[in-house]
Structure 1
């Protein structure tokens, strides 16, 4: 279980900027073992993403550039898909996510590029 947590945290939920190693700040989460199923992984991934975004912003403001950042890109993709308002993907209830195939995803990207005010 610990090896699985290390891989999931380091590569998917809470990746670092270099993408090769897990942050030492996440080591306590690895020690959860069997209690991992009761842990709030969404809040953990979101909190890590927000920390990475703040760090990125500080670097950008202080140096004028930033090489990259960490955080859960999957969370950003889901958030993005959940907040676009393009026909026929305008939902009136939660959750508004649906599984997209490549063709539908390409249609969304094309529509977004040609439609103004697609962000809700």
Structure 2
């Protein structure tokens, strides 16, 4: 219920299979489950919203969305490289980041965002080197043997 909450206090029927694998929990990709459930909830919300002009709650893991947003704000990073990321964000830091990103109008977007990827260097993180010394060049795959122009041409019609 924590990873894939719904608008109901009951467990969603599509998550019942997760209860059957309790003994092998460490072997499953729970991140993919959370993301898929979140995306399904967002799609369901969008269908209801665009059909009726309004919709109730969305469902899905709001913690995932909050941490994903916070990690991309253009601000000093908080313990980059610590996983799971929920370990480094407490309520005080979340409120502080939200306050810094809030515009006078009450909307968000004051700080802007960065293009970051988990498992890689953060763009604002200091590095020991100037980067790679050599440029990696990749071969032009279109000139490799066996690559043919696969465009189909319309048959010529006789007049």
What's the TM-score, normalizing by structure 1?
0.75
The size of the alignment, in residue pairs, is 107
* Structure (1 or 2) with the greater helix fraction: 1
What does residue 76 of structure 1 align with? 65
CA distance in 1 between partners of 2:5 and 2:38 (Å): 9
In terms of Rg, which structure is larger? 2
User: Where does the alignment leave 5 or more consecutive residues of structure 2 unmatched?
Assistant: 104-108, 115-159
| 2:31 aligned partner | 42
Match of 1:109 in 2: 98
Query: Map of 1:1-120 to 2, 5 A cutoff?
Result: 11-18=1-8, 20-86=9-75, 88-89=76-77, 99-114=88-103, 116-120=110-114
Cα deviations by residue, 1:51-99 (Å, 9 ceiling, x for unpaired): 000000000010100011110111111111111112x2399x7569572
Unpaired runs of 5+ in structure 1? 1-10
Stretches of 4+ moved more than 6 A in 1? none
The 2-side partners of 1:85 and 1:95 are apart by: 18
Task: Identify if the C-alpha distance between structure 1 residues 83 and 24 changes in structure 2 by more than 3 Å, giving closer, same or farther.
Answer: same
SS in 1 for 2:2: helix
Structure with more relative contact order (C-alpha pairs < 8 Å, separation 6 or more): 1
Give the CA RMSD over aligned residues: 2.5
Structure 1 residues 110, 33: CA separation in 2 closer, same or farther (over 3 Å shift)? Answer: closer
Instruction: Specify the SS of the correspondent of 1:35.
Output: helix
Question: The residue matched to 2:10 in structure 1 has which SS?
Answer: coil
What TM-score do you get using the length of structure 2 for normalisation? 0.58
